[in-house]
A and B are shown apart, each in its own frame.
Chain A
Amino acid sequence: MSTKVNMTRFSLMAAGLAVALAQPVSAHHSFAAEFDANKTVTLTGTVTKLEWMNPHIWVYLDVKDDKGNVQPWQCEGGPPNTLTRNGWSQNSLKVGEQVTIDGALAKDGSKTCNARVVKLPDGRSVFAGSAGGDYPPTPPKK
């Protein structure tokens, strides 16, 4: 199965800890302005484009849905400045590579996600902890 939407936290303990401990990477805008933390997604597909630009990088990938049809997705990562300081570059992810992205879905229902972790087939994780805004969000106490 290539696309899996779930309502639970990461099952991988290490991944969860890595995200929790990663450097905060963005305050461009509020996470809640665009994404829904309660709608997590795991996408596996082929990278078609990487935009290494401010205010956030964007990873584009083709993902096969449950019927085998290829669907284009786009996922937001952190700002390139912070990712650069964390050791990543625009060459860290290449067009044609197979990746798995754990993230949160956009509120508007489009095939858009906020990437928390981008995993390569060999197990390495690039752009770990990438996120926009105040992720992981804590619901405001009102």
Chain B
Amino acid sequence: MKTHFAATLLAIAVMCPALAEGQQAFQPPTGPTPRLPSGKVDFSGVWQKPYVPDMTKDGKEQKGLAELPFTPWGEAEWKKYDAAEGDYTGACLPFGMSRSVNTPEPMQLMQSDKYFTFLFEQNSWFVVVPIDGRPHRQGIATWFGDSVGHWDGDTLVIDTVNFNGKTRLDTIGHPHSDQLHLVQRFTRPDLGHITWEVTVEDPKTFTKPWKNARTFTLRPDWEMMEYSCEENNKSLWEGRIKVPKR
């Protein structure tokens, strides 16, 4: 029996190079929380994030919420959603803030006293967030919304509003409206980790705010790579993926 088990493990190691090369067992560098010269916590680095295709599910480094508190409108939007009838991401349209953080591809964070910047590898998108105390900009609604940040002690709070309502919260398609309000809280308890929490508020879609909590891992061995979604998106060109009509 032990022989069979060992053989199975060996087969897994051979067939899954990520395991064979110890990627699952990656240990980030250890050390104290890094800070900018100003004393603010520095979140800079390339970060491995858990892939969260469904925010109602728990996973490695991810705590979801099983039952979303839908309003009747939100429930109807969810029930009628069928990715086969149109998934905007299949057309390489902007994922939006929530779904970008949910991707398995890494993100690089860069920071000064004035700005905090998300560099998402997914489709090479970026989001620049002023963190110097200025208010939200007034203007047209966008795919990623408008983000500003402020400090709550050593926690950086990123507040995002003014979404265009054309995105989904996750790959499986949980809905939101243009009234979506995301609050992301970043803390860095040590050199190698970020503790992240998002609060999803959207009075048109949900009866009350709800949360996901995750851990991001520093990957100094990774560099960001180009991701051109349009380069060979043949599934769209050949008609197997539809663009949503909205």
Contact = CB atoms under 8 A, between A and B. Distances in A.
A29 B16 CA distance: 23
Interface string B101-116: 0111100000000000
A29 B241 contact: yes
B15 interface: yes
A14 B84 contact: no
Contacts, number: 153
A7 interface: no
A82 B227 CA distance: 10
Interface stretch (A39-47, A93-101, A106-114): A106-114
A71 B8 CA distance: 34
Contacts of A22: 16, 18-19
Interface of A: 13-15, 17-18, 21-30, 32-34, 51, 53-56, 58, 76, 79, 81-82, 84-88, 106-108, 110, 112, 117, 123-125, 128-129, 133-134, 138, 140-142
Closest 8 A/B residue pairs (Cβ)? A29-B90, A14-B11, A134-B53, A30-B83, A24-B51, A53-B232, A18-B15, A33-B83
13 contacts: A13-B8, A14-B11, A18-B11, A22-B19, A23-B18, A27-B122, A30-B83, A33-B83, A33-B86, A55-B231, A55-B232, A81-B226, A88-B17
